[in-house]
Amino acid sequence: MYRASDGYPLFYRHWKPVGPARGIIVAVHGIQSHSGWYQRSSSAYAAAGFEVYFLDRRGSGMNFRQRGHAAHEARLLADVRQFLSELKWSRRNFPAVPLILMGVSWGGKLAASYAATYPDDINGLALFYPGLNSRLRPSRWQQWKLQSASQAGWGHITAPIPLNEPHLFTDSAHWQDFIRRDELALHRVSVDFLLSNLRLSTLLKDRMAEIRCPTLMLLAGRDDIVDNTANRQSLQQIRKSTVEIIEYPTARHTLEFEPQPETFIGDALGWLNHLPNVRPQ
């Protein structure tokens, strides 16, 4: 657990490699999920020598205070930056290794926004089926209602997340049941969180070209949550570093829940292994 600058206690899961870390991954999750969804891939990265810190977003996962709420997108970015700063300070006497920010689903929007805002903080950006461009977009009327509610002091009021059908995430009956039974999954978010999401979209539209580190994007070909075509177009704005995009034609949104997740995990590790300054195995 680490404590944000406003006093909010933030929890995370941590996977350590057996030997010295070859690189460090800090990951952020989707709008409904939490770090517990990604234990298989995180364990695999750790087994390959990468240290993994998977953060639970404030109001999500193991963080029960102000459930589903974030006052502003700057607060969400600050939570990530504070963790990275404290991590770098704690490792100041260790050999330098690459720091990779990984964003999964909606967390991809947060991770990309961070990389565009603080491009010198990280050495790699991994975006897995990222919510840079969603298929579910609020109308102008809905956006106006959100603005009006926030201005009226109702920013903490929550609304259902329109992603409560497990089949949107996976075809697997086992993992659909896991999602239904998951007590840590988030099902409602606040008005202010929804506005923060819209402002992050605007931030990315304006600053995507500021990303300077190597970037990987993995896409699920049968994704009904994010817009793969728009995501590809967004990454075309990155011209200051290398971009690699891999799509899995038959996969549903959550690659973690595919029958053979080792395929995408292997591709991710292949990219990680070729980042500059990754320690050899």
- Domain membership of residue 11 (yes or no) is yes
> 278: which 2 tokens?
């990754």
- Domain membership of residue 21 (yes or no) is yes
Provide the residue type at 269 as one letter. Answer: L
Reported confidence tier of residue 164, pLDDT bands at 50, 70, 90: confident
- Domain membership of residue 97 (yes or no) is yes
Quick check: 139 pLDDT over 80? no
Specify whether the CB–CB gap between 106 and 49 falls below 8 A: no
The 3-class secondary structure across 126-139, one letter per residue, is EEECCCCCECCCCC
Quick check: 65 pLDDT over 90? yes
Q: Which of 227, 226, 244 is nearest to 235 (CA)?
A: 244
- Domain membership of residue 117 (yes or no) is yes
| CATH at residue 17 | 3.40.50.1820
- Domain membership of residue 279 (yes or no) is no
Total domains, the chain: 1
The DSSP H or E segment spanning 5 is none
Quick check: 142 pLDDT over 90? no
Using one digit for the tens of pLDDT, what is the confidence trace for 184-207?
A: 999 999 999 999 999 999 999 999
The DSSP H or E segment spanning 188 is strand 188-190
- Domain membership of residue 20 (yes or no) is yes
- Domain membership of residue 280 (yes or no) is no
Contact residues for 117 (Cβ-Cβ < 8 A; gap 6+)? 77, 203, 207, 210
- Domain membership of residue 281 (yes or no) is no
d(CA 158, CA 241): 39
Domain that holds residue 147: 2-273
Burial class (CB in 10 A: 0-12, 13-18, 19+), 88: middle
Using one digit for the tens of pLDDT, what is the confidence trace for 206-251?
A: 999 999 999 999 999 999 999 999 999 999 999 889 999 999 999 9
Cα separations in angstroms, 280 against 19, 27, 95, 265, 277: 11, 22, 13, 18, 9
- Between these two residues, 275 and 279, which has the higher pLDDT value? 275
Average pLDDT, the chain: 95
d(CA 272, CA 266): 10
